[in-house]
Amino acid sequence: MKTESFCDVMQQLPDGVIVTDVRGRIIWVNAAMCALLACTPEQLLTHPVEDLLPQEELLKLVGLAGYIEGRDMVRDLHMFLCGPDGTRASIVASIARARFLDGELRVVILAREAGAREEALAESTRWAAAEQNRADELVRGRDALANALQELQRTQRALMDASRVAGMAQVATGILHNVGNVLNGVNVASQNVSRRLRELKIPSLQKLVDLIHANEHDLAAFLKEDKRGRAVVPFLLQLVQYFTAEQSELLAQMRKVEERIEYIKLIVQKQQEYAKTVRVTETIALDQLVKEAVSLNNASLMNQAIEITVEAEAEAVTVDRAEVVHILLNLLSNAKHALYDVQRERKLIAVSARVRSEQLVVSVRDNGVGIAPENRMRMFTFGFTTKKDGHGFGLHDAANAARRMHGSLVCSESAPDAGATFVLTLPRDARAKSDLPAAMLESGPPEQQVHV
């Protein structure tokens, strides 16, 4: 067929026609296509056909390339086209390749305006695909969360092994307790995500798609006249609201997981810093030393709704940093456990640190259960504990650590149901000779050093 005759015939068609070269550039359009896109031929000629496709339709150009390379004619491909002024047309296209008398291979696109049936079917298919992609993404997130939990559990076991090797079992116990508390929150959030994913109304969505497919032969009439058809659009709106709410809730649960993982990262980071610490003295600000010990317990204190206050001077001290942190972790852990079963409006731990007469004095006070009179002289004895799951060497080990640094650890105040106060006293400069009384340094076992 001559090019002129072809153009004359195509110009009479009620459907839109676009002819492109092998590079996809528009070389001819008929009047019907111009009417569909509300433009003149001059506004389309020489432009690539991809300029007419919205962003979400660009993947269909891959198919167009296949037609040019020799695929058979494709019929009834639903897509959207956009005119130069933004006019958007929903069309059903048929695409074929043809070799004209001049020997050039060209692509012919025949487009008719989509009716209600094609519109509804295409929209429901796109919406179902989008919801399926969202569900797949949530499932991938759940799997990633499960992998993260396994990795955190491996880290937890590794921390315990490292603490045993380094002789820091008490430090590791406190840290792992913190990690365990946070992991409980992660586990709860993970279970919520899994439950909501299992309960997603995907079957309802599938039933809707099946219903539309079953009536696609006359979808417009089905949507207008059938009782079930009239319920399709309201049901779609309900599904959109439902999936939007579910997405918000799942994102909120994932944010909780992210926050708790950040807590765990901080706890692990602090532990790694102390695991690498060589047992040597170093100069550090007293307030920084105390706050670092407190930060290792922050996660578990927050979970138990325990309020902690810190008043510490910024004076420089020279001490065995790891040993001091080890002692403070013991004292904070005991204060925390003393508050577990107390029914109080405010559960409090107060930490005070100051320098007096070339000595650093750190006190840890709580308003917990207190210490029974019969236990005051035994609290520093190896193996003595009032905790159900205690091992009885925390305070004993802490008091011995204080003695190794030429200092003392004492219980200065205590009464049943009135809390307890423990005081750690050390030389301000571990390199200098201690000014503590000789009797305090050379006295018997730590359990004798109890002030009441």
Sequence ranges of the chain with CATH classification 3.30.565.10: 281-448
Assign 352 a pLDDT band (cuts: 50, 70, 90): very high
Overall pTM surpassing 0.85 (yes/no): no
| Structural fold of domain 281-448 | Heat Shock Protein 90 (3.30.565)
Q: How far is CA 303 from the centre of its chain?
A: 19
Residues 6 or more apart whose Cβ sits within 8 Å of residue 321:
277, 281, 282, 284, 289
Closest CA to 200 of 287, 139, 284: 139
Run of H or E including 365? strand 359-366
Q: What is the residue-averaged pLDDT of the chain?
A: 76
Closest CA to 28 of 1, 49, 53, 57: 49
38 vs 73 pLDDT, higher one: 38
Helices (H), 278-363: 286-295, 298-303, 321-339
Under a CB-based contact definition with an 8 Å cutoff, are residues 422 and 411 in contact?
yes
| Structural fold of domain 3-114 | Beta-Lactamase (3.30.450)
Dist CA 403 CA 410 (whole Å): 11
Q: How many CA atoms lie within 13 A of 335 on its CB side?
A: 30
pLDDT tens-digit series, residues 362-373: 999 998 888 888
| Structural fold of domain 118-275 | Substrate Binding Domain Of Dnak; Chain:A; Domain 2 (1.20.1270)
370: left (phi over 0), alpha (psi -120 to 50) or beta: left
pLDDT tens-digit series, residues 261-288: 776 776 666 566 555 554 567 888 999 9
Dist CA 370 CA 337 (whole Å): 11
User: Could you tell me how many residues make up the chain?
Assistant: 452
**Amino acid at residue number 203:** P
How confident is the model at residue 392, as a pLDDT?
A: 63
pLDDT tens-digit series, residues 195-238: 888 888 888 888 888 888 888 888 888 888 888 888 888 888 88
Residue 177: pLDDT over 70: no
How confident is the model at residue 349, as a pLDDT?
A: 92
Q: How many CA atoms lie within 13 A of 226 on its CB side?
A: 15
How confident is the model at residue 365, as a pLDDT?
A: 92
Closest CA to 28 of 13, 38, 42: 42
SS3 category, 282 = strand
pLDDT tens-digit series, residues 10-34: 888 888 899 988 788 899 999 988 9
Sequence ranges of the chain with CATH classification 3.30.450.20: 3-114
Structure tokens belonging to residue 20:
């492109």
How confident is the model at residue 418, as a pLDDT?
A: 82
Phi/psi at 8 (5° precision): -65, -45
